[in-house]
Amino acid sequence: MSRLRFPHVFRDPGLYQQALTHRSAGRPNNERLEFLGDSLVGMLVAELLFESHPRADEGELTRMRAQLVSGSALAEVARALELGEALRLGPGELKSGGHRRESILADAFEALVAAVYLDAGWEACRDCVRSLFTERARQLRAPEKDAKTRLQELLQGRGLALPVYELVSSSGDDHAKVFEVACVIEQPPLRLGGHGSSRRAAEQIAAQQALDHIKELLANER
Condensed to tens digits (0 to 9), the pLDDT of residues 186-217 reads 988 989 999 998 899 999 999 999 988 888 88
**CATH 1.10.1520.10 boundaries in the chain:** 13-139
What are the CA-CA distances from residue 185 to residues 41, 151, 218 (Å)?
Answer: 38, 10, 15
Query: Is residue 102 part of an annotated ligand binding site?
Result: no
Query: Is residue 110 part of an annotated ligand binding site?
Result: yes
How confident is the model at residue 5, as a pLDDT?
72
Condensed to tens digits (0 to 9), the pLDDT of residues 139-194 reads 887 666 788 988 998 899 888 899 999 999 998 877 778 999 999 999 889 899 99
Task: Give me the sign of the Cα torsion angle 50, 53, 57, 63.
Answer: negative
Sequence-distant (≥ 6) Cβ neighbours of residue 14 within 8 angstroms: none
**CATH 3.30.160.20 boundaries in the chain:** 147-221
How confident is the model at residue 60, as a pLDDT?
84
Query: Is residue 173 part of an annotated ligand binding site?
Result: no
How confident is the model at residue 65, as a pLDDT?
92
At the topology level, CATH places domain 147-221 in: Double Stranded RNA Binding Domain (3.30.160)
Q: Catalytic residue numbers?
A: 38, 110
At the topology level, CATH places domain 13-139 in: Ribonuclease iii, N-terminal Endonuclease Domain; Chain A (1.10.1520)
